[in-house]
Chain A
Amino acid sequence: MLEPMRTTPDRADVLAERVSKAFIVDDRRTQALIGLDFQIQAGQFVSIIGPSGCGKSTLLRLVGGLLAVDGGRITVGGRSPQEGRRAKHFGLVPQTPALLPWRTVKENLTLLPRLNHGQGSRVMDDERIDELLVAVGLARFADSLPAELSGGMQQRVSLARALALRPPILLMDEPFAALDEITRASMRFLLLELWRDTPATVMFVTHSIEEAVLLSDRVLVLSSRPGRLAAEIVIEIDRPRRHGIEDADSFHHHAALVRASLDRATIGADPAGAS
């Protein structure tokens, strides 16, 4: 089990009130998100699903303080996203592993905790690194370069790197989208296993209905651009969720609910989304 050891709070909720975001590209304004309200309780696993271009990734970046809202407000554990970023509240897992190819696996894991001195900076001891590497099944590859690993292994390093920060909030942007189906399936269960041992709140962007149902406590369905909250589905499937759960009736029932909401959200929205 991964022992929590942090200077930042263990848990943090996420609150979004009337959040709007627009981008201006070539003098053309594109409304990405509009009037978005939701609350995620601390420690919940929430997936965000919606049609392409509906603002899922934008939402994740707004919560993570990588972008600023145009209207409305987001708080993470009572702080602004920018304050949360400074306090290392976030563990970001993007779609690509985004590892530094010149650093070994171990060196990749230790870099982020060392950055941002004076704020959330903390040193990782070797024991903790070894523990993480064992947890993601890469104990033998500590001194390997990323190029020596498969895509799935690299994504496991990326996951371990985010967990190394012991973040109250994990932001995951389609982290398994580039993997083959077999690797992807095993990564989902690995994530569930690792998350079970942490107090982290997870926001997980995905295009996969099955992935959303398997992993989440709740699924937020966004409409086509401009993204609005079209539906919110509570996944009432007991945890721990293990291999084979995809065959259960309750799983199919929830997947059908999400699919229907997604269909309605896609049909009912303005496809252009520009103003």
Chain B
Amino acid sequence: MSNVLRARRSGSVPADGGAVGPGRPWFGAYVAPFVGLAVLFGGWELYVRLAGVSPLTLPAPSRVIRHLAAEPTFYLRNGWVTLAEALLGFALALTVALLVATAMAHSRSVERATMPVIVLVQSTPVAVLAPIFLLWFGFSPTPKVLVAALFAFVPFVSNALTGLRSVDQDTLEVMRSVDAGTWEVFWHLRVPHALPALFAAGRICVSLALVGAVIGELYGGSTEGLGYQARIAQSRSLVDQLWGSVLSLAVMGILLTLLVMALERRLLKWHTSQSTV
């Protein structure tokens, strides 16, 4: 038996030949995510400079970053508005999805009655509801929060239902063998079992909620928010402000996703999705 084969069997060399593995965990955790971003922004910067692209068409990232650095208060204030709408929408979607999925997981009749409504929400382009919400709720954060919530709702409810329902049958029988109540099974088995699926949805939904909040702002009824500022910048040809808003939203999306992932890593240490090997 070769040394390599022996080493692999003892678990000291990863199966992929050692490109990224237990020997260099810091690389995968901290360096790799920035490599892709560096390539993207580096390529963008080079292209703009070498091809002589007009800033009106595409400003270089360095120019957008300089603009952001010059107007931090403006972007922080508007970013906070959009963030609050997105987070409220995210929380609303999560809460309603959990309630709906819990009812569906416990009753096939409720599931049959509810599923067409969920399919309807899923099939309807949520963006077209933004002007309707604007008509209903006027100049307030509510229309934006509702659009954000609708964007995040379907992935949450479908993952929550899958997680709550697809519990291990042997474990369920063990709990039933001591006559555990529905609430006990729900709290001790179904909810923890659903957490990995909920976090998987959360990683996607946090960005979707941000998209929803911005779409809500783009449709009007706002005086603040990055979506609103992007719309104003577009109508007045304020290229730096337009790209500054876009970049701020991108950074917010990345930070929110990282926050969800950090929370997931902390709470789901027991789950295979958090295995580093």
Residues of A near any B CB (own CB < 8 A): 61, 64-66, 85-86, 88, 90-92, 94-96, 98-102, 111-112, 115-117, 119-120, 145-147, 161, 165, 171
Is the CB of B63 closer than 8 A to any CB of chain A?
no
One of B25-33, B73-81, B180-188, B239-247 contacting the partner: B180-188
For the complex, give the distance between the alpha carbons of A171 and B170 in Å.
13
| A165 contacts B270, C-beta separation under 8 Å | no
Across the interface, which residues of B come within 8 angstroms of A112, CB to CB? Answer: 174-175, 178
Question: Shortest distance in angstroms between B192's beta carbon and chain A's nearest beta carbon?
Answer: 5
A41, B250: Cα distance in complex, Å: 71
Is the pair A115, B178 in contact by a Cβ cutoff of 8 Å? yes
What A residues does B176 contact at CB under 8 A?
66, 85
Is residue B177 contacting chain A, with contact meaning CB distance below 8 A?
A: yes
A116–B268 Cα gap in the complex (Å)? 27
Choose one: A64, A100, A119, A146; the contact of B188 (CB below 8 Å).
A100
Please tell me if B109 contacts chain A, counting CB pairs below 8 Å.
Answer: no
Q: In the complex, how many angstroms separate the beta carbon of B15 from the nearest chain A beta carbon?
A: 19
Query: What is the minimal beta-carbon distance from B171 to any residue of chain A, in angstroms?
Result: 4
Give the nearest-CB partner of A90 in chain B: B177
Complex partner residue of A115 from B170, B173, B188, CB under 8 angstroms? B188
B168 touches A96 (CB 8 A): yes
Known pairs A86-B179, A101-B270, A145-B269; A94 contacts B184 (CB<8 A): no
Contacts of A99 in B (CB 8 A): 171
* Given contact pairs A96-B170, A100-B171, A145-B269, A165 touches B192 in the complex (Cβ within 8 A): no
Q: Apart from A100-B192, A102-B268, A112-B174, what 12 extra A-B contacts exist at CB < 8 Å?
A: A61-B173, A65-B177, A86-B179, A94-B174, A98-B171, A98-B173, A100-B188, A102-B192, A111-B188, A112-B175, A145-B269, A147-B272
30 A-B residue pairs with CB within 8 Å: A64-B177, A66-B173, A66-B176, A66-B177, A85-B178, A88-B178, A91-B177, A92-B173, A94-B173, A98-B168, A98-B173, A100-B188, A101-B270, A102-B195, A111-B188, A112-B174, A112-B175, A115-B178, A115-B179, A115-B181, A115-B184, A116-B178, A116-B179, A116-B181, A116-B184, A120-B178, A145-B270, A147-B270, A147-B272, A165-B178
Residues of A within 8 A of B195 (CB): 102
Separation of A115 and B173 alpha carbons in the complex (Å): 13
A171 contacts B177, C-beta separation under 8 Å: yes
Is A85's CB under 8 angstroms from B171's CB?
A: no
CA distance A54 to B255 in the complex (A): 57
Please, which residue of chain B has its CB at the minimum distance from the CB of A162? B174
Contact flags B32-47 to A (C-beta < 8 A → 1, else 0): 0000000000000000
How long is the Cα–Cα vector from A97 to B265 in the complex, in angstroms? 25
What residue of chain A has the Cβ atom nearest to residue B188's Cβ? Answer: A111
Q: A101-B271, A102-B192, A115-B188 are in contact. Are A85 and B177 (CB under 8 A)?
A: yes
Per-residue interface assignment for chain B, residues 139 to 183, with 1 indicating a CB less than 8 Å from any chain A CB and 0 otherwise: 000000000000000000000000000001011011111111100
A123 to chain B, nearest CB (A): 14
A111 to B188, CA, bound (A): 9
Of all A-B residue pairs in the complex, the 6 with the closest CB atoms, nearest first, are A98-B170, A92-B177, A94-B170, A98-B171, A115-B180, A102-B270
